[in-house]
A and B are shown apart, each in its own frame.
Chain A
């Protein structure tokens, strides 16, 4: 039997390439339960996740969905109740140090060391990774070069976050694990963070970051996973999510007068239509239908303005998680996952 297996692998490398291909992160039925009996909380429920080498992966979900639990398992801060996880080809339980040697970590709500200077923080991380760090260059990259010799106790939340990111970049890691990287950052800081993530990805670094802010994930990620109440709701590219999940786009027309007995539903690809004072709105399942809607209405009346937009991912996010990301608070919220049909 063993002999046969070896023979197979040697003869048909294609057969094993699927499992052999380098995945930066792979989890298999990863489960984490806190407590036992009636009071048990299932923080993570059989998570299967694969993050390919070199991609930017957004790990999305409301607070309390299990994102930090996942990251804590990947870094061996906590032990999974069941299941298995690998990072950069190493088992998270038995080879954690090897993982962390090649990973840059930005912990959630990072508080830095008050009595150490920014430079000392970077230097320390370089010491642990046994590399020599270009401290000034790194601090320049994250935008706090002028604070290099100040003690971090006086830093604002945003500066602390930048310093933490600088520490994560020490030693040019193969993988960046960023837990809520934009927390505490102002809009400029968030934009710079996104640019930095892109630059890192272009240089071949795999970036895995968690967020409860959808726009941030949408802007930089190749693929996303949406997690809710410990369960993986979906794992896909942003484009596929848009296409497959309703794939709706809407068009809104301002008109001088709304024609009587207008029936846009007869136009192919239009799902719904709504008419209100001087405005006609149509929800279409294909982008092409929008053009037909405009033609159809324009034949009957004068169109003064056209507003077209794709269904935002926020709607999608809301559908999967039962949360409105725009009003998302920072409280722990774990609700029942809504019924989802994909």
Chain B
């Protein structure tokens, strides 16, 4: 009951913040750009659009949408003292965290769904010749929403664990840098460090490909990027060289990426609650 009361109030509040919608507009703009890009091609390929959206959204825009929407959710109230209104009411601290997750998650999901609807309509106008794969598109949207929710959960958790705007912001940027850019894109990533280590030990990294793949997928961005087997055609994956071999172990299969993303929803929340539940709100 109190979780819903918090969620309702917070949704009313945050949806009126214009800043929250700016990254959503950015995502929509890129989507339109990608569809337009296919319209100039002689053989428009729907999977190329999803591939671009996956890369750009995964690396940058979806985390941005979620972090902007949620990093201040609790820390902002603590800094301003409004948390004393919230907790002066008969509300548990866990309800604050879940309510905030529902509200901020809701705002992000609504934003993304609107964005996808606009993209779908635009595609009919821009590239009427392209064959639109609705089934795969729906799976892609669902996985993207789960990825966004994982980032919202991380942002709410960081916000719950910090008492000021500046620390929450530092935490959000730090997470993004470590578990996204460093983990999946920089040459100092854990996979590369592991490869280096294996080489030093005189082992051939090629024998440990599955393990390396799992390490890559442990970050939410890695899991999102490796979920392609769920919605991309094999034909397209072969052309970009990431087709899955038969007999992959379960922990690098598409469905396991969803498990990893779900863990990124649950674990941060638990840690955030552990910190916020014992916090001194003086």
Task: Mark A residues whose CB is within 8 Å of B.
Answer: 68-69, 72, 75-79, 97-98, 100-101, 103, 105, 107-113, 115-116, 120, 124-125, 127-130, 164, 167-168, 177
Contact = CB atoms under 8 A, between A and B. Distances in A.
B235 interface: no
Interface string B3-25: 01110110011101100000000
A72 B13 contact: no
A168 B90 CA distance: 12
A300 to B, nearest CB: 62
Nearest to B87: A77
B87 A130 contact: no
Given A77-B281, A115-B16, A109 B90 contact: no
Contacts of B92: 97
B198 to A, nearest CB: 47
B275 to A, nearest CB: 14
Contact of A110 (B2, B81, B281): B81
Contacts of A177: 88
Contacts of B89: 100, 105, 124-125, 128-129
A319 B85 CA distance: 35
A98 B2 CA distance: 13
12 contacts: A77-B84, A78-B282, A98-B90, A105-B85, A105-B88, A111-B82, A116-B9, A120-B12, A125-B89, A127-B5, A127-B9, A129-B89
A128 B280 contact: no
A78 B282 CA distance: 6
What 9 pairs between A and B have smallest CB-CB spacing? A105-B88, A107-B84, A127-B5, A128-B89, A101-B90, A77-B281, A100-B90, A115-B16, A124-B9
**Most central of B6, B8, B85, B87 by chain A CB within 10 Å:** B85
Contacts of A105: 84-85, 88-89
Interface in B1-51: 1-2, 4-6, 8-9, 12-14, 16-17
Given A100-B89, A128-B89, 14 more contacts: A72-B282, A78-B280, A78-B281, A107-B84, A108-B81, A109-B81, A110-B85, A111-B82, A115-B12, A115-B16, A120-B12, A124-B5, A129-B89, A168-B88
B80 A69 contact: no
Contact of A127 (B8, B87, B280): B8
A47 to B, nearest CB: 16
A276 B6 CA distance: 67
Nearest to A73: B282
A130 B88 contact: no
A75 B93 CA distance: 12
A100 B14 CA distance: 25
A107 B88 contact: yes
Contact of B87 (A75, A113, A124): A75
B2 A77 contact: no
Given A69-B282, A78-B282, A124-B8, A112 B13 contact: no
Contacts of B12: 115-116, 120
A129 B89 CA distance: 7
B199 to A, nearest CB: 49
A212 to B, nearest CB: 18
Given A75-B87, A112-B85, A130 B281 contact: no
B91 interface: yes
Contacts of B4: 127
A180 to B, nearest CB: 12
A101 B2 CA distance: 11
A125 B101 CA distance: 20
A77 B81 contact: no
A152 to B, nearest CB: 10
**Most central of B6, B84, B87 by chain A CB within 10 Å:** B84
B18 to A, nearest CB: 10
Nearest to A114: B13
A69 B282 CA distance: 7
A216 B263 CA distance: 54
B280 A77 contact: yes
Contacts of B281: 72, 77-78
A197 B91 CA distance: 25
Contacts of B1: 128, 130
Contact of A113 (B82, B88, B91): B82
Contacts of A113: 9, 13, 82, 85
A79 B281 CA distance: 9
Contacts of B282: 68-69, 72, 77-78
**Most central of A103, A113, A116 by chain B CB within 10 Å:** A113
B143 to A, nearest CB: 32
Contact of A128 (B16, B80, B91): B91
**Most central of B4, B17, B80 by chain A CB within 10 Å:** B80
A77 B78 CA distance: 11
Nearest to B5: A127
Nearest to B82: A111
A120 B5 CA distance: 11
Nearest to B85: A107
A152 B13 CA distance: 11
A107 B81 contact: yes
Nearest to B91: A128
Contacts of B14: 115
Contact of B81 (A69, A111, A125): A111
Nearest to A104: B88
Nearest to B278: A79
A316 to B, nearest CB: 29
